[in-house]
Amino acid sequence: MTKWIVELNFDEDEDYTQAVATLKAPDGRELRGLGQSRRNPDDKPVTQIGEEVAGARALSSLAHELLDYAAAEIEKNVRRGDPAI
């Protein structure tokens, strides 16, 4: 069984939240996604909402990074010029 752990870290103030999602790949490479949210001045300051939005955006960004990483790994392992089997 393989287990991957994603860590989410937040930096925030009353109006702004930034999230960083970090994944350490099995080969040791670290992938990161960044997400941000900003509170509308007319809304109540609810920290949890900013974290949810920024966290979701960071995870989405990380998903794109992981897809790019996988595509690069596929390219490195494609046999070019080998005779057809």
The pLDDT of residue 28 is 86
Question: Residue 66: CB partners within 8 Å, gap ≥ 6?
Answer: 23, 31
Q: CA of 85: how far to CAs of 60, 69, 76, in Å?
A: 38, 27, 19
6-77: CATH superfamily:
Rv1738 (3.30.160.240)
Q: Which two tokens stand for residue 45?
A: 């300051």
What percentage of residues in the chain have a pLDDT greater than 90? Answer: 54
What pLDDT shows up at residue 57? 98
pTM of the model: 0.83
Q: Which residues pair with 37 in a beta bridge?
A: 17
